[in-house]
């Protein structure tokens, strides 16, 4: 039997990040995948990032993950969303060349030292039950091969008992053209792991040769595109492809409604829970029955293909109904489709069965990441995979797990939400889920997480030195703005040009930069001393913009840090892992039941469990000491 430190099951976005991290940290790692040509396949939309998701990818990159770099190398359009709002809401998003993205991940993994790949289907987990708690010790594949491992990370996506639906037709599969994985769920259920069913969907893919683009409104990328990775080894995209805006109509809706009786969503065929924030077109028509139009986005799947993705038109209606409705959309009157939209049901495992390290509470050395935890989205999956890979490696070395807190990263919010609150629908990240989103901006992800990535061993020495230099320049620029005074005569014309009232007295550069109407870049352009300081120190436009954000948000940042520090005190009060909550009669019945099931490790985590009241927390504080 071949032996490894870490085995990763599944080569989706979670599995690729997990395998890459574990191997680069020094673990002998095996990645088991059903198809080596589809690593990190973009099974749904060909894009990375978006609101809050873009922040997650920046954090993955800051920690030393690979998703950001691979996105940069395969980007065909880049946009910074929410530029009209405050900087805490800015979210990067990139359209990617779908085929190149997967190929780049494969090239990266095949050239990662210590990482081995096996093409096969895992069908059974093997356990050691001789101890007090069961421990995973290996797995068996469809080909009858057995592998032994100290730790295993399960990242099977939508493949576990996957079932695809299109109208009244159903077929077993984890994705169009790919078989479902059978056996893993059964071997977990036998060990007492709770199993649920969820569903997701995807739209039809369209042939560009049959689309009338002249009738559509193009949506271009940013004029000066940025990128995801903080590394200087990638560059912003040069040539960008446009997306296009498309709209449904009352006629389209009437056509779609003709297929509702055959919809597996409405006739009881599908029992899995679907995503609230990425609904099918038929869900939209039910939920927003009064709307006569929905905006859709036509997105290219790559430079070397005619395949287009119709974002917002996910459907499991019968094929002929989908096609008839598409033909009633302006610009798509003669469209040919490569394949229809469909829904897919799959097994997942409620994540309240995990510790914050993503290790199972029921089976030692077994980790879960990605859609098997009830999440949706490449970005959420990749983040979990990265953290599971780090912690599975550390488990083999007898080291404590790495757990990010809610004020450290969106990744910390994601994992804490999953293991503390659980999921009742596929989870996706939003900025509104983070109570410290002013601290957790996309622009400062490296400031927050790169020191940790370097400490772990995922950030190279050269990249860390570049980070330290950038941090030093940022701090020196902000310090200079605090010390340098500006005379009225130096700033008056600039204020008038912005339509602002004249200054009544001179102030520090910092004080002028605090105003929303004034940018630090603008001040660099009109203040000779400031411009000379910037030029002499080779301060880049990126650092100037970051300093501008830090200055404008300085008051809010300090306030959020203060609140976070107070709440950290609750995180510092530990609860024994084997504590019997049912014996505490002073807790409400609901609190006892939920605390006993979720088993929080700190008072802070307990306070975030739905159904545990402030009065219950006071009882716990008295029991475990203030």
Q: What is the spatial distance between Cα 41 and Cα 38, in angstroms, rounded to a whole number?
A: 5
Segments making up each domain of the chain, as ranges: 205-341, 474-557, 572-624
Average pLDDT over every residue of 253-261? 92
pLDDT of residue 277: 63
pLDDT band at 5 (very low <50, low <70, confident <90, very high): very high
Contacts of 170 (CB under 8 A, 6+ apart): 163, 164, 264, 269
Identify whether the C-beta of residue 126 lies closer than 8 Å to the C-beta of residue 134. no
pLDDT in tens, 562-604: 888 877 788 888 888 889 999 889 888 888 998 988 889 888 8
- Kindly tell me if the per-residue pLDDT of 490 is higher than 90: no
pLDDT of residue 58: 98
Q: For the whole prediction, is pTM greater than 0.85?
A: yes
- Kindly tell me if the per-residue pLDDT of 626 is higher than 60: no
pLDDT of residue 134: 96
Identify whether the C-beta of residue 128 lies closer than 8 Å to the C-beta of residue 155. no
Average pLDDT over every residue of 40-51? 95
Q: Picking from 5-19, 54-68, 460-474, 497-511, which range would have the lowest pLDDT averaged per residue?
A: 497-511
pLDDT of residue 300: 98
- Under CATH, what is the fold of the domain 205-341? Elongation Factor Tu (Ef-tu); domain 3 (2.40.30)
Q: Looking at domain 572-624, which CATH architecture does it have?
A: Orthogonal Bundle (1.10)
- Kindly tell me if the per-residue pLDDT of 206 is higher than 80: yes
User: Rounded to whole angstroms, what are the CA distances from 223 to 85, 233, 240, 242, 525?
Assistant: 18, 22, 10, 12, 21
pLDDT of residue 263: 80
pLDDT in tens, 262-279: 888 777 777 777 776 678
CATH dotted code for 474-557: 1.10.10.1800
Task: Report the chain's mean pLDDT, rounded to a whole number.
Answer: 93
């Amino acid at each position: 039997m071949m032996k490894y430190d870490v085995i990763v099951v599944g080569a989706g976005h979670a599995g690729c990040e997990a395998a890459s991290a574990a191997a680069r940290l020094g673990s002998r790692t095996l990645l088991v995948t059903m198809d080596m040509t589809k690593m990190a396949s973009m099974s749904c939309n060909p894009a990375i990032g978006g609101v809050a998701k873009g922040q997650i990818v920046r954090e993955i990159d800051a920690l030393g993950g690979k998703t950001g770099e691979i996105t940069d190398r395969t980007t065909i359009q880049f946009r910074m969303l929410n530029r009209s709002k405050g900087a805490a809401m800015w979210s990067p998003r990139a359209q990617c060349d779908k085929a190149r993205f997967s190929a780049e991940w494969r090239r990266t993994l095949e050239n990662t030292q210590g990482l081995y790949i096996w093409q096969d289907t895992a069908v059974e987990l093997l356990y050691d039950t001789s101890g007090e708690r069961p421990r995973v010790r290996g797995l068996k594949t469809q080909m009858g091969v057995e592998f032994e491992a100290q730790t295993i990370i399960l990242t099977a996506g939508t493949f576990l008992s996957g079932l695809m639906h299109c109208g009244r037709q159903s077929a077993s599969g984890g994705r169009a053209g790919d078989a479902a994985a059978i056996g893993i769920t059964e071997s977990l259920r036998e060990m007492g792991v709770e199993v649920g069913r969820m569903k997701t969907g995807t739209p039809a893919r369209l042939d560009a040769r049959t689309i009338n683009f002249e009738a559509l409104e193009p949506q271009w990328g940013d004029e000066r595109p940025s990128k995801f990775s903080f590394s200087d080894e990638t560059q912003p995209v040069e040539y960008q492809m446009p997306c296009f805006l498309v709209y449904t109509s009352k006629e389209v809706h009437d056509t779609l409604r003709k297929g509702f009786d055959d919809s597996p969503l409405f006739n009881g065929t599908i029992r899995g829970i679907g995503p609230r924030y990425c609904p099918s077109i038929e869900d939209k028509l039910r939920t927003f029955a009064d709307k006569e139009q929905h905006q859709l986005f036509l997105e290219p799947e790559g430079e070397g293909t005619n395949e287009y993705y119709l974002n917002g038109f996910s459907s499991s209606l019968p094929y002929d109904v989908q096609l008839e409705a598409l033909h009633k959309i302006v610009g798509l009157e003669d469209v040919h489709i490569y394949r229809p939209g469909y829904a897919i049901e799959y097994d997942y495992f409620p994540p309240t069965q995990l510790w914050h390290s993503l290790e199972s509470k029921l089976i030692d050395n077994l980790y879960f990441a990605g859609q098997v935890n009830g999440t949706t989205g490449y970005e959420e999956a990749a983040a979990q995979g990265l953290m599971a890979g780090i912690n599975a490696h550390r488990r083999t070395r007898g080291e404590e797990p790495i757990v990010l807190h809610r004020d450290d990263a969106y990744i910390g919010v994601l994992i804490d939400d999953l293991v503390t609150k659980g999921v009742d629908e596929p989870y996706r990240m939003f900025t509104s889920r983070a109570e410290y989103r002013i601290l957790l901006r996309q622009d400062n992800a490296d400031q927050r997480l790169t020191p940790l990535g370097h400490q772990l061993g995922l950030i190279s020495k050269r990249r860390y030195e570049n980070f330290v230099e950038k941090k030093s320049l940022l701090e020196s620029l902000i310090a200079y703005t605090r010390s340098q005074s500006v005379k009225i005569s130096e700033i008056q014309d600039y204020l008038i040009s912005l339509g602002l009232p004249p200054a009544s007295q001179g102030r520090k550069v910092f004080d002028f930069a605090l105003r929303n109407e004034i940018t630090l870049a603008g001040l660099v352009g009109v203040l000779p001393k400031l411009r000379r300081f910037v030029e002499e120190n080779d301060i880049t436009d990126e650092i100037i913009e970051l300093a501008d954000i830090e200055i404008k948000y300085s008051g809010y940042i300090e306030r959020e840090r203060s609140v976070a520090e107070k709440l950290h005190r609750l995180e510092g009060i530990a609860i024994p892992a084997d504590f019997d909550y049912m014996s505490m009669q002073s807790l409400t019945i609901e609190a006892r039941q939920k605390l006993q099931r979720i088993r929080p490790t700190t008072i802070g985590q307990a306070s975030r469990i739905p159904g545990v009241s402030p009065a219950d927390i006071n009882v716990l504080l008295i029991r475990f000491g203030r």
